[in-house]
Structure 1
Amino acid sequence: MDDLVHKALARWPNVPAIAGWLRLTAQGEWLLTGPVPQGLTISNARILNFIARNYAAEDDGRYYFQNGPQKAYVSLECTPWIYRVYPLDDGSDVLVTHTGLICLPDAMYTDEQGRALIHTSVGIGLLHSTDMARFSDGLVGDDGAFIHKGVWTVPENPAELLNTRIALRKNPSLTSGRYSRECGIEELDSASLPNRFHFQPDPEV
């Protein structure tokens, strides 16, 4: 969380939280849903990066954006994280959340709609639809089932490798380097996601 946000919280600790005005779409976009202007997708890079740095979750599974001293709960169209895959020239990939956090996959799933979902140390997330082709490159059939074999990079200085709209940030728990991951693909029902992975799609104040 930004230092200025911590300072604002210290100065105004009792600002009421709000809900119902910010939504995370299945494409990783932030959509204003109320009160005005409704249906507007946030596109300003500075605002997007501010939201990204100050996006977090409570123990009860409600995700929020800490907007200075005020907590704004986020409605989730699908999952609390949307993952992107960025290929590197050496054949490895960088796995990144919609907020710019670099991660490594721990488990992978597919739902009844054929969508890919990835679990990492930050949580469960939907793979962005435009990255499905790259993801499919790592799929290997194994006795009627599928596993995903991939080589993932955690770059030391991501900004030197990738020019992205959201500034990439290293997860403090990860060491820079190349990692091989082999994950079985488990089938699940998308309706089971909130309970199984402990998040609330439609939080209330």
Structure 2
Amino acid sequence: MVEILILYYSRYGSTTDMANQIARGVEEVPGATAKIRTVPEVSPVCQATEDSIPASGHPYATMDDLKNCDGLALGSPTHFGNMAAPLKYFLDSTSGLWFSGALTGKPAGVFTATSSMHGGQETTLITMLLPLLHHGMVLVGIPSREQALTDTVSGGTPYGPSRHTGRDDDGMTEDEKKLCRVFGARLANVALALKNAGAR
């Protein structure tokens, strides 16, 4: 068995919807299971504290969730062409895992949602990959031969799934859902292959 951690931040639920679709893709692969975790808000004024369990939604991630996973899908809304501050804040606290090499050799990929077509989907995905490279993770995207990448008129990139919510969000398109599931399945299959090969 492999466990894929789907770690994300979402303010209005668009990235949460993607995380759930990616989890479906992971669990379509025999021998793979998905664990979904989120991160708390951060305060721009001072160090704020949150309850250890959120009032609703997925539980907050811990360092042990990262340490013990076999693969990682990292998701954030696009904020000015970059990941949101709460996710960056969480990643900035992973120095201990970097020193120990706990994530080295594990497969990882990224996903994002944005409210405008030109809001920085691809720059967000690329900058989210950088800390994963520093951790020594094996990057996983979506191959260009995936038909939904050609068919989509909203979200979707080779760097990872993306979603365009627009002003009046009517929910994910079928192509966006498919790309999330394909990505989840690919991440799970790579994790299984690496684990079976003893590559880490």
TM-score interval w.r.t. the shorter chain? under 0.3
Structure with bigger RCO (C-alpha 8 Å, 6+ apart): 2
Instruction: Write 1 or 2 for the structure with the bigger share of strand.
Output: 1
Normalised to the residue count of structure 2, the TM-score between the two structures is 0.25
TM-score, normalization by structure 1: 0.25
- Which is higher, the Rg of structure 1 or of structure 2? 1
More helix by share: 2
